[in-house]
Amino acid sequence: MTLLEPLPDLEEIRALNPDGTELLGSRCDSCGSGFFPRRQLCFECGADALRDVELGHRGVLYSYSRVELSSARPTPYTLGYVDLDNGVRVLADISVPEDLLVPDLPVALTTDPAGKWSFAPAVNPAEETDEN
C-alpha cells in the first residue's frame, strides 16, 4: 500500500519571477512538453515530476477578444491566446491598442508598475540590438 498525498494547489497563475520579467511554467523531462501555468503531472505522457522553467518572453497572438460581459472578472478586458516560441499556448491579458490588434501579431511579455503581466506588441529584436 502506498500512502498517497493530494497535489497541493499551485499558487494562482504564478506567472512571474520575483523580478517581474518571466513567465513561469513547467517542463516534463520525460517527453519535453511545456505547460502554463505550472503543473505537477504531465498530461501528455503521464509523468509526475515536472520542473519549473521560464517560458520565454515572445510569441504570436493566435486570436483575441475584448470581453464586455463576464461573470469571471470586471469588464472590459481583452484576452488572447498567445502561442509562445516554444510551442506552449497561453491565455493572457492583451495590452495592445485596439487599432493594432490583429491575429498573428508578434507579442512580448510585459508588466505594468503594479506587477500585472500581459502581452504587448513585440519590439523588433534588431531594434533592441541597435538601442544597445
Partner 1 sequence: MVDAFVVSAAMLPMGKHRSSGYAGLAAPPARQALLDAGVERGDIDAVFCGHSFGGMLTGQRIAKELGLGGIPIVNTDNACSGGATALHLAQKSVAAGEHDIVLVVGVDKLTQFGGGTLPLVAEDPEVRQGMVMPALYAMRARRYLYERKAEPADLALVSVKARRHGAMNPFAQYQKEVDVDQVLSSRVIADPLTLLQCCPTGDGAAAVVVVSEKVFAAMGRPGMRIGASVLHSGTATSGTRNMLRPEISYHSAREAYAQAGITAADLDTVELHDAFSIAELVYYEALGLCEEGGSLEFLRSGETTFGGSVVVNPSGGLLSKGHPVGASGVAQVVEMFWQLTGVAGDRQVPDAKIALTHVTGGGISGFDHGACAVHIFERAD
Residues that bind Zn ion (CB under 5 A): 28, 30-31, 33, 42, 44-45, 47
Judged by beta carbon distances under 5 to 8 A according to partner kind, the member of partner 1, Zn ion, none in contact with residue 110 is: none
The torsion angles phi and psi of 10, rounded to 5 degrees, stand at -80, 160
String marking each residue 8-27 x if it binds partner 1 according to CB under 8 A: ----xx--------------
| Of positions 22, 23, 36, 109, contacts partner 1 by CB under 8 A | 36
Q: Which amino acid is at 51?
A: R
Query: What type of residue sits at position 71?
Result: S
Q: Is 132 in the site for partner 1 (CB under 8 A)?
A: no
Calpha distance 124→58 (Å, rounded): 11
Q: Which is nearer to Zn ion, 49 or 123 (CB)?
A: 49
> Which one of residues 24, 88, 107, 122 is an interface residue with partner 1 (CB under 8 A)?
88
Q: How far is CA 93 from CA 63, 69, 76, 96, 109, in A?
A: 12, 16, 11, 9, 10
SS3 annotation, 57-79: CEEEEEEEEEECCCCCCCCCEEE
Choose, by CB under 8 A, the member of 21, 65, 85, 112 that binds partner 1: 65
Smallest gap from residue 62 Cβ to partner 1 (A):
7
